[in-house]
Amino acid sequence: MQILLHHAALPRSLDAAVEARWRAALPAARRERLGRLRQAEDRLATLAGLALLLDCARAAGRVPPALGALAWLASGKPVWTDGPDFSISHAAGRVGCALAPPGMRVGLDLEGCGAARAAQLRRVLPADEWARACESRLDATALWVATEAVLKAAGSTIAAAAAVAVSADHAVFAGVRWRLLRPTLTASHVAAVAVDRESTLDIASRDVEALLAAGP
C-alpha cells in the first residue's frame, strides 16, 4: 500500500483574483471561517493544502473532489466524502498533503526543526510516554509531530495528546496500533505520517503557486 505525499514551499503572497476563485469554491461555512483567519499565511496555507489534495488525487488517477463537497470534522480535519482519507499540514513556510489508498486512514504533521521544546511536552505527556520517547531518542519535535499525526489519522484533537503512546516506528492510540513513517521533506522540517497498516510513501515536491493559479 502506498501513500502519496506531496509538499511545497508556501509562496509569500497570492494574487487576489486567484484567492477569490479558491474561496468561492469552498462550502459557505468554511469560506466564512477562512475569512476570519487573521494571518494571511494561514489563509494561503489552507488553500495551498487543498491545491495539493487535488494534485494528489490526479496523481493517484482519481477525479479530484469538488471543494464544495468536502466536509470538516469537529476536530478540524477535512474529509473527502465517498473518497479516500487524506491529511494536510503546514508549518514554517511549508505545506503538505498525504493521500491514502481507499480503506486506509492517514495523518500528516510537519513542523520546523526545533519547534517543540522538551519542557513544553513534559507538561502534556504522561511520564511513561516521556520515558519511552527518551529511550527511543526521539527529540521533542519528532515526538510532537508523531503525536499530532496519530491524532489527525484518528480524527481526534490535541486534547487527547496524553493518550497517544509513541515510540520510534509506531504509536498506540484508542486501541489502534499506528505505523509511523518519518519522511525528510527538507533539512529545516520534521514530519511524520501515521497510517493504520503497513505502507510506503511516494513523495513529490510541487510548485503550489502554479497549482493555485490553475484553479480548483
What global pTM score does this model have? Answer: 0.90
Per residue in 31-56, pLDDT (tens digit) is 999 888 878 888 999 999 999 999 99
Element (H, E) at 32: helix 28-36
DSSP 137: T
Cβ(213)–Cβ(57) below 8 Å: no
Per residue in 142-184, pLDDT (tens digit) is 888 999 999 999 999 888 888 888 888 899 999 999 999 999 9
pLDDT (0 to 100) of residue 119: 46
What is the residue whose three cell numbers read 476536530? 75
Element (H, E) at 177: strand 176-181
CATH number of the domain to which 79 belongs: 3.90.470.20
DSSP 56: H
- Which whole-number Å values give the CA distances from 143 to 46, 58, 109, 140, 177, in the listed order? 24, 32, 11, 5, 16
Cβ(14)–Cβ(67) below 8 Å: no
Q: Which residue has the higher pLDDT, 166 or 124?
A: 166
Q: Domain of 154?
A: 2-214
pLDDT (mean) for 107-123:
72
Domain total for the chain? Answer: 1
pLDDT (0 to 100) of residue 196: 95
